[in-house]
Amino acid sequence: MADLKTLISGWAQPGRVEWIGMRPDRRATVKAVASTLISAVGLDGDRSRAGKRAVTLIQQEHLGAIGSYLGQEPVAPETLRRNLVVSGINLAALKGREVQVGEAVLRFTVICAPCSRMEEALGKGGYSAMRGHGGWCAEVVQPGQVRLGDVVQPID
């Protein structure tokens, strides 16, 4: 039987970048793009800043869950204001790890908790619907290009 450390470090399959979004200014409309450069401070053209919250990610699988909690269809990624939507890999299992995202390497740092704007964006209960499903923040270890369809997988 595998020990806990081995179980925690395992993963079933690589993920995939499904959506990329940027917001150039605070409260600006999020713009979807097909590719971008992730620099040391985050997505080129985004209002991100260097550090443990340079890039935000959310699982595509959670868009449906959030919508379901609100009695709606899956939530549109731009509504949640995260930078990357990823499918096929459990982002929570990547905390503290270095992860290849396209040509970039990110280190998952802290959960990306919902902000009070989610009540405004999603309606009554929006904040609570996102709790536990808001995604993750990451710092940039190695800058690089990221495109729709790129592989997402741990490298450590």
Query: How much is the mean pLDDT over the chain?
Result: 92
Q: Which residue has the tokens 């690589």?
A: 14
Domain tally, the chain: 1
Determine the Cα–Cα distance for residues 105 and 97; give it in Å rounded to an integer.
10
pTM for this model (two decimals): 0.92
Establish if 2 belongs to a structural domain: no
What residue type is 128 in one-letter code? S
Structural domain harbouring 35? 14-154
Establish if 3 belongs to a structural domain: no
Q: Could you tell me the CATH number of the domain that includes residue 51?
A: 2.40.33.20
Establish if 4 belongs to a structural domain: no
What is the tens place of the pLDDT at every residue in 42-92?
A: 999 888 888 899 999 999 999 999 999 999 999 999 999 999 999 999 999
Establish if 112 belongs to a structural domain: yes
Establish if 51 belongs to a structural domain: yes
Q: What is the pLDDT of residue 154?
A: 95
Establish if 7 belongs to a structural domain: no
Determine the Cα–Cα distance for residues 49 and 26; give it in Å rounded to an integer.
12
